Structure 1
Amino acid sequence: MASEAIVPQQKNNEVKPKNIIADGRNRRVLQDIGNFVKERGAQGKKPITKGVANVAQSVKGGGGAVTKEVATQRKVVDKVDKDKPKPETLIVMSSDEKTRKTGHVSRREGSSRKEVKTLTSILSARRKAACGLTNKPKDSIEDIDGADVGNELAVAEYVDDIYKFYKFSEDEGQARDYMDLQPDINAKMRSILVDWLIEVHCKFDLMPETLYLTMNIVDRFLSVKVVPRKELQLVGISAMLIACKYEEIWAPKVNDFVFISDNAYAREQVLVMEKAILDKLEWYLTVPTAYVFLVRFIKASILSDDKMEDLVFFLAELGLMQYPTVVLYCPSMLAAAAVYAARCTLDKSPHWSETLKHHTGYTEDQLTNCAKLLVKFHSTAAESKLKAIHRKFSSPDRSAVALLSPAKSLLPNHGELF
């Protein structure tokens, strides 16, 4: 009778122990998702075997059929536990308080942080890939901007794109052949004007950018406006006034230009000409002159010193004073030819490197004709009546580069003229 009171009702050969704890009472409080191996055992439903054991204890000594059935169920449960796959060790995705206490995750397993690349290195890698530098030998093209990566003013991440845009837009800011449109002006008068403007530039101690922008404004204005001979000097000082306002921090006053021109023009005339120039050029003053290319190409000329730099500017200003070089060659080619002629004059080896070819975009053969013109101007500068440039670069402050012998490899043979 005792066994009948203890044994529960059976349905479909299934035994339901009385003291099985409800699943809801055995659940943990909801926390961050964790997958520790030890915690899985605590959350599993083990009361099944425990309940079977209680039933077996309660029927000890009574009811052989019940004991046999309980033993059969225990074998089944043990077989299920034995065949149950072992939990895999997973990486913990959370870092709650329990995780920190148990410390199951090692530092190596928990640290999934990778080395982060800086924005500068990423942009530099993209720039090199876009330019094709990654497919070229490392020794052929040197990275001239590597030392300026930390310098914000050098904008090493964008400098190549900037100069690509300069080369793309330089044709828009270059003056065309205009001497046929000027009945009262010729190339010699222009050279005289440039010679005088270089003296004014030195007198006011202006920036080199100002000189190149001044001549760009003069040439572009003369290409769209007929100017009488008596107003050519007025165009020159008005163009320099505009360039000073654009480039200089402390621009000279209008009266300074009137005084330095020996009062040949009144103040009102200078202001009227300034407005006329700006109107004809439609205020388009942001143009790539030869100076911006000179700075870049000198930097690409590896191991360049002060003497090399002064010689490049000497040859470039000689070309700036001559009308044929200004209208025949774009600013970037004039700058590249000045660097090439300077390297030939100083006998730099090689005369033209892969680095210069890459950054200038010109080969040695493309620069030969323009470089020969610059060397010819160098050879005749001492005997020329226009001596402003020769005096400027004969001083020790300019390394006296005007006194150097011209490049023999670029001089014409047997008195041949260009």
Structure 2
Amino acid sequence: MASRPVVQQQNRGVEGVPGGIKQKNMAAEGRNRRALGDIGNMVTVRGAEGKQQLPQVSRPLTRGFCAQLLANAQAAAADKNKKSIAVNVGGAAANQAAKVPRKQQQQQPAQKKVTVKPKPEAVIVISPDTEEQQEEVKEKKSRRKAAAEDSSRKTYTATLTARSKAACGLNIKKEKKIQDIDAGDLYNELAVVEYVEDIYKFYKEAENESRVHDYMDSQPEINVKMRAILVDWLIEVHYKFELTSETLYLTINIIDRYLAARTTSKRELQLVGISAMLIASKYEEIWAPEVNDFVCISDRAYNHQQVLEMEKRILGELEWYLTVPTPYVFLVRFIKAAEADPAMENMVYFLAELAMMNYATMVYCPSMIAASAVYAARCTLHKSPAWNETLKLHTGFSEAQIMDCAKLLVDYHFEAAANHKLQVIYRKYSNPQKGGVAELPPAKFLLAPAP
């Protein structure tokens, strides 16, 4: 407010000079042109040289010019990545704004200082509810519906075709279904699912190396009946000592391999049996029976020293080769492939022990004896089908290949049920703990001659 009288006095002094008004106005217009040509944030007017600086009197800002400045500032803010631009108008514009009433100043605050804030970025949300995407979803649904209708038509057509072929008596080939028997033991470390196929492939190759052939012709004092009596008695000893099944099958294997390699007298046959079981117990059992236990079980027919000497003789003759595939290792695998229940499992072991006791099964390899026991057990329990693709795959034998051995096992079952003299195995599996499977009728239809 103090600057107004000064400005008025200076202007009056200029009016007193002739031609001063015109000359002053010309100078002001020239300065105004230069200032307008160099508009910035602040408009500064300098006085003439050698004269006292006077405040610039400028033309008042119009609303149109102010609106143009605002529009230019907003455009510059959008182009320069949301930078704020302040437009300050000074000099005569400030004086002019001072003369405006207070109400008008409140209505026009942009004349003093204009700050343009950047507009917030518009967030584009991609939604599946857009029209285009909705159309695509509708098209997909219609395509799926059409495909489902086509498949239903094909299925109906296939059904009619199958019925027509069946009515005409045409043979329709069924798909071979092979089950993965190791799927349930995938996380069982003891099942060694990663190596089980390789292990049994090795057993198949090694069983021929340790296979025992006919040796009775080379034994002058031993016959088939004596061997059967020895095996029957050893099964009873094994049952009383509560030994594992692996021990029993390995014992019989050691006896046959030793008798096939060396001539033995009738008097030493039982000594060979208890020494072989001692060796097998040391190999398979955690707590093996002692030598005195076998001396006592044999009614002291042999002493401690004789048992140890025979043990040493057997190991030397076999060259300490005890890791052999017996029928038991194949039985475990084949029973698993057959998905056997407890009754069927007991029936398989019953027939397998009958096969061990009888010398006639010596002509078959251990894997075939195991596969035949499974087949005969399924026939005895009337399982259908008696042989499937899963068993064929894991055993490596077809139904025709094991038929002869299976008939032999059914024949042994029939003899054991007919009050045969050697009743240890029959009594063992007639026990309710074993399911009483020995008392079931044998599968006589396998013994019937083919038509």
TM-score range, shorter chain: 0.5 to 0.7
The one of 280, 293, 298 equivalent to 1:256 is: 293
Map of 2:46 onto structure 1: none
Partner of residue 388, structure 1: 424
Report the alpha carbon displacement of residue 409 of structure 1 after superposing the two structures with TM: 2.1
Structure label with greater radius of gyration: 2
Distance 2:184 2:237 in 1: 36
Among 250, 255, 268, the residue aligned to 1:231:
268
Aligned to 1:241: 278
State the partner residue of 1:204: 241
Give the whole-Å Cα distance in 2 for the aligned partners of 1:152 and 1:139: 30
* Alignment-mate amino acid for residue 156 of structure 1: V
> CA offsets per residue over residues 252-293 of structure 1, 9 Å max, x none?
000000000000001000000000000000000000000000
Which residue pairs with 1:349 in the alignment?
384
* 1:67-92 Cα shifts (integer Å, max 9, x gaps): xxxxxxxxxxxxxxxxxxxxxxxxxx
Deviation at 1:412, TM superposition (A): 3.9
Alpha-carbon RMSD: 1.2
Distance of aligned partners of 1:287 and 1:138 in 2 relative to their CA distance in 1, 3 Å threshold: farther
Q: What residue is the counterpart of 2:409 in the other structure?
A: 374
Q: TM-score, normalised by structure 1?
A: 0.65
Of 297, 304, 307, 2:343 maps to 307
Q: Secondary structure at the match of 1:362?
A: coil
Q: Deviations over 1:157-188 (max 9, x none)?
A: 11011000001100111211100000000000
Contact 2:228 2:357 in 1 (8 A): yes
Q: Does structure 1 residue 151 correspond to structure 2 residue 188?
A: yes
- Tell me, in whole angstroms, the C-alpha distance in 1 between the residues paired with 2:352 and 2:228: 14
Please tell me whether residue 269 in structure 1 is matched to residue 286 in structure 2: no
Alpha-carbon displacement from aligned partner over 1:392-413 (angstroms, at most 9, x marks no partner): 0000000000000001221245
Equivalents in 2 of 1:411, 1:401: separation in Å?
Answer: 19
Determine which of 217, 230, 234 is the counterpart of 1:193.
230
1:319 is the counterpart of 2:355: yes
Deviant stretches of 4+, over 3 Å: none
For residue 369 of structure 1, what is the amino acid of its counterpart? D
Cα distance in 1 for residues equivalent to 2:405 and 2:289: 35
Q: Is there any run of 5+ residues in structure 1 with no aligned partner, and where?
A: 1-136
Question: SS of 1:229's equivalent?
Answer: coil
Q: Where does residue 441 of structure 2 map in the other structure? A: 405
Q: Deviations over 1:167-220 (max 9, x none)?
A: 110011121110000000000000000000001001100000000000000000
Question: 2:369: which partner in 1?
Answer: 334
Q: Deviations over 1:289-337 (max 9, x none)?
A: 00000000000003x1000000000000000000010x21000000000
Tell me how far apart the structure 2 counterparts of residues 400 and 247 of structure 1 sit (CA, whole Å). Answer: 28
Could you say which structure has the greater relative contact order, defined with CA pairs below 8 angstroms and 6 or more residues apart?
A: 1
Deviation track 1:87-106 (CA, whole Å, cap 9, x = no partner) reads: xxxxxxxxxxxxxxxxxxxx
Amino acid in the other structure paired with 2:321: Y
**Separation in 2, partners of 1:367, 1:166:** 18
Kindly indicate whether the alpha-carbon contact (under 8 Å) linking 2:176 and 2:389 is maintained by their aligned counterparts in 1.
Answer: no
Query: Residue 381 of structure 1: SS of its match in structure 2?
Result: helix
Q: TM (normalized to structure 2)? A: 0.60
Tell me what 1:365 maps to: 400
Unaligned runs of 5+ in 2: 1-173
* Separation (CA, whole Å) in 2 of partners of 1:349 and 1:314: 20
